[in-house]
Amino acid sequence: MDGRLNINGYYRMSRDSIDEIFGSDIIDLDDFNVFDLSANYNVSDSISLYARLENAFDEDYEEITGFNSPERAFYIGVRLDFFAQ
């Protein structure tokens, strides 16, 4: 499609992680896999459409003890470049 469409995938995983709480307790964190997807379509030099899906499978995980990570989220939008040549 002459470079106007871009589709990307992003994969993050964690295995055998630990977190230290204030220098005293060490906590084992659960393993996790997170998939994000995005697409961008350039309509013209000055207009593009985008969509992004974060945490596609709605994985429930913690990267830091006590702080839940974001649930699945979907974003769409339009980018306008008023200075494109």
Is 70 inside a domain boundary? yes
Is residue 51 one of the residues assigned to a domain?
yes
Tokens of 12: 């993050």
Domain residue limits at 66:
5-19+29-80
Q: Count the domains in the chain.
A: 1
Give me the pLDDT at residue 1, please. 52
User: Over 60: is that where the pLDDT of 7 sits?
Assistant: yes
Q: pLDDT value at position 40? A: 98
Q: Please enumerate, as own/partner, the contacts of 16-24 that have beta carbons within 8 Å and a separation of 24 or more.
A: 17/63, 19/64, 19/65, 21/65
Quote the mean pLDDT of the chain.
Answer: 87
* pLDDT per position as a tens digit, 14-50: 877 776 666 677 777 778 999 999 999 999 989 999 9
What residues does 7 pair with on adjacent strands?
A: 39
In a domain, 64, yes or no: yes
Dump the DSSP string for 57-72.
Answer: T----EEETTEEPP--
